[in-house]
Amino acid sequence: MKKITWGIIGCGDVTEVKSGPAFNKVPNSSLAAVMRRDAAKAKDYAERHGVAKWYSNANDLINDPSVNAIYVATPPSSHEEYTIAALKAGKDVYVEKPMSLNAESAKRMADAADQFKRKLSVAHYRREQPIFKKIKQLLAENAIGDIRCADLRFFQAPLTPTEMEVPKTSWRIDPNIAGGGLFHDLAPHQIDLALYFFGDVSTANGLSANQQKLYPADDIVAGNILFKSGVIFNGVWCFNCAKEEAKDNCEIIGSHGKISFEVFGEPVIHLTKNGQLERIAFDKLQHVQQPMIEKVAQYFLGEAPNPCTAEEGVEVMKVMDSFAGVKE
């Protein structure tokens, strides 16, 4: 294989800017086909993005001989089905986060990659962005000394009735489609970064509740992780606070300072050491998944290691399950 020719299953909102255009912008990679169940929308996407082929049936795209790798960008409820079908058909797969509805489902996907001897990467793409690679570097260099703990607070105001009716939001608060609520949509990035920074998990536990009962999914989650390194992570995700209290903040505390940053906000690191504050800023990315897609393409071509393995994706799902519970 000298070039990755991609097919996208689920060319919806997430693929418009965040990921879709990047497949044609990284070396030895091109977007060959897209699929969406709504044929008119699939055709429209293909025409707007200059994609040669479009389908309304996933199996037709999976079995297209001109496609040698699949990007699964549907809601989580269909990740397992499409990923395993693509692996079985001999295609390598890049699957969106969360990897699936729960850890059990994610494990079946990982097992399928082994069974069919294909490659599987998970779209925890923030680990390849410059800001988070820099944080990883600072931790490795002991910039703030020995790491003691990390504290994450992510608060948002409740969704409005209008927001809950918008299709790109409504599925995210349906546990049958998303696995949970906004926690399942957003927290995979934050939990994956914690694993990326601090290593293997020793134990994880948490609590969740549906306080405001605006939709079926829980709207507040709290969790703790004890890492084998001894680092303790504490996180709270609240999606029903006052608008004025909204925040996106993570602090990593060390023996000689701290690192503060936002996961979804401005790409800026605040490094405090020995009482001195340093601000390290990064340019915003046009396509936030492009650095990850480049690494995945290299991995599929046998030129680099897997930037996020199926086993790492399963581990993220295990932590999420332990925080929010696996809902019946």
Q: Where are the domains of the chain?
A: 4-125+288-304, 130-284
CB neighbours of residue 50 within 10 Å: 9
pLDDT of residue 199: 98
Walk along the chain (328 residues) and give the pLDDT tens digit of each residue: 689 999 999 999 999 999 999 999 999 999 999 999 999 999 999 999 999 999 999 999 999 999 999 999 999 999 999 999 999 999 999 999 999 999 999 999 999 999 999 999 999 999 999 999 999 999 999 999 999 999 999 999 999 999 999 988 999 999 999 998 999 999 999 999 999 999 999 999 999 999 999 999 999 999 999 999 999 999 999 999 999 999 999 999 999 999 999 999 999 999 999 889 999 999 999 999 999 999 999 999 999 999 999 999 999 999 999 999 765 4
State which amino acid sits at residue 266. Answer: E
CATH architecture of 4-125+288-304: 3-Layer(aba) Sandwich (3.40)
Rounded Cα gap, residues 40 and 201, in angstroms:
45
Length reported for the chain: 328
pLDDT of residue 328: 42
pTM recorded for the entire structure: 0.96
State which amino acid sits at residue 257. Answer: G
Alpha helices in the chain (DSSP H): 13-16, 39-49, 58-62, 79-88, 103-115, 130-140, 161-165, 167-170, 175-178, 182-198, 290-300, 310-324
Burial 131-151 (b: 16+ CB within 10 A, else e): bbebbeebbeeebbeebebbb
- Maximum alpha-carbon separation in the chain: 60
Residue position matching structure tokens 């989650």: 221
Task: Say if CB 229 and CB 202 are below 8 A apart.
Answer: no
End-to-end CA distance of the chain: 43
pLDDT of residue 274: 86
pLDDT of residue 71: 98
Strands 69-72 and 257-261: unpaired
Tell me which CATH code domain 130-284 carries. Answer: 3.30.360.10
Half-sphere exposure of residue 127: CA atoms within 13 angstroms, side-chain side: 24
Rounded Cα gap, residues 122 and 111, in angstroms:
14
